[in-house]
Amino acid sequence: MMATSVIFWSTPFLFLLSLSTAAASGLFEFRIDSFENPLARDQDGNCCSNSTIPPLIRSSFYPSDSSYCSSPCRVYFRICLKHFQHNIDTNTPCTFGEVTTHVLGDNRLEGHPYTVPLHFNFSWPKYCSYIVDIGHESFEGSRTKEGMHRIIYQHKMQTSLQVASDWTYKSYEVGSRSKARFNYAIRVTCDENHYGDDCSTMCRPRNDDYGHFTCSEKGQIVCLSGWQGEKTYCRNATCLPGCHTKNGYCDQPNECKCRYGWEGSHCDRCIKHPGCLHGTCEKPFQCICNEGWGGMFCNQGS
């Protein structure tokens, strides 16, 4: 399954709408750490190759028991992820997805873990079931032909799996007839820009006209330095320290732009009436004469 992408439109309204309607998106990973099938047999105890070493030939090289098969198994894996079932039904669809690998090796797989990813675009439910078919493919493409592939082991499991970066490890002896051993690990992580216990919280860092923020580990908006207002996506710049809160404003951090009628580095000085010569102001465009002066422009001595 492909994760659903979210488009940010050209207006703030549609941008905010896209945040609220974003779909959950994440990844279930199944990592095969090691697999051993020393007897090269399937789940029924038969040789994957349908033949054993003849006793007269075998006796000079191998022990005299009849368990040695002439050829190794060609091992592939099928992972079927589905909703939680108390009794796992192997005949119903893999509701959360399935992946089949190519042939990964023969009777012994170890040293190079192989990860099988399954993407999902729904809220992770925490509880799930999965089926692992470990099969033998006689030759490339033969698994689609009747009688040309075998199941070495089928592993079924229900689990409670929380979203986390850490792996959950499993180890099993997988069959008395095949003497096989299987070690694997699983985990669920959210896709990029998705957060939360179910990967449904979306937070996409940005630094443009629609917001200036990054995201916390839980997907909460964290304003970039110089910006404030998490509820408005950090679109409010933090003005120059000391900038008058009413007479000044800013479009960028550490600015102090004066409103009409005010001046100064912190916009805390009113502009006098044009032509005011010997006077001051308390509000913009006043001309309050100094002592000893009068007139409209305070230019007449008393």
User: For position 68, what pLDDT does the model report?
Assistant: 76
| Residue-number span of the structural domain to which 110 is assigned | 12-195
Q: In terms of domains, do 217 and 94 share one?
A: no
Cβ contact 75:109 at 8 Å: yes
In this structure, is residue 2 part of a structural domain? Answer: no
Final residue of a structural domain among 233, 255, 290: 233
Phi first, then psi: what are they for 187, rounded to 5°? -165, 165
Q: Reply yes or no on whether the pLDDT at 231 is more than 60.
A: yes
Q: In terms of domains, do 127 and 207 share one?
A: no
Q: In terms of domains, do 177 and 209 share one?
A: no
User: What does the pLDDT average to over 203-214?
Assistant: 96
User: How many domains are there within the chain?
Assistant: 2
Which two three-digit tokens encode residue 217? 């580990």
How far is Cα 293 from Cα 272, in angstroms, rounded to an integer? 15
In this structure, is residue 262 part of a structural domain? Answer: no
**CATH number of the domain bearing residue 218:** 2.10.25.140
pLDDT tens figures, 81-127: 999 999 999 999 999 999 999 999 998 998 889 999 999 999 999 99
Q: In terms of domains, do 107 and 130 share one?
A: yes
Is the overall model pTM greater than 0.75, yes or no? Answer: no
Q: In terms of domains, do 209 and 128 share one?
A: no
Q: In terms of domains, do 186 and 225 share one?
A: no
pLDDT tens figures, 11-70: 333 333 334 345 899 999 999 999 998 888 888 888 887 766 554 444 444 444 455 788
Q: In terms of domains, do 33 and 182 share one?
A: yes
In this structure, is residue 208 part of a structural domain? Answer: yes
**CATH number of the domain bearing residue 88:** 2.60.40.3510
